[in-house]
Amino acid sequence: MTVPRFDEIIHPSTRLSLVATLAATDWAEFSYLKERLALSDSALSKQLTTLESAGYVSTERPSTGRRRTVRARLTPTGREAFDGHVAALRAIVDQPHADSSPSPTGEPRP
């Protein structure tokens, strides 16, 4: 069972989208991530660097003929952090709202 744990590194929407995309695959090419997330080269590179510094993502630069490509994957630490963050978000969403709680008499509040 995944322990819910809110993660400040993953939470910003761009990084959350990036990690969610990586969680669905083994490896993803830089160009695919750039297109999928509608980011510039520099914005994607910055997000990957932040996640890599945290140990959540690893990158490699294999040579394919005359071109060097960059690809990224989620590390086991990154997958655990992502799963915990998603569980924390689900716990927040699933909490009953204070407005919908019954009154002390058991009647629904207006």
Confirm whether pTM is higher than 0.85. no
Q: What is the pLDDT of residue 97?
A: 65
Q: pLDDT tens, 24-78?
A: 999 999 999 999 999 999 999 999 999 999 999 999 988 777 777 899 999 999 9
Write out the H or E segment, with its range, that includes residue 34: helix 30-37
Q: What is the pLDDT of residue 102?
A: 57
- Could you give the CA distance from residue 20 to residue 49 in angstroms, rounded to a whole number? 16
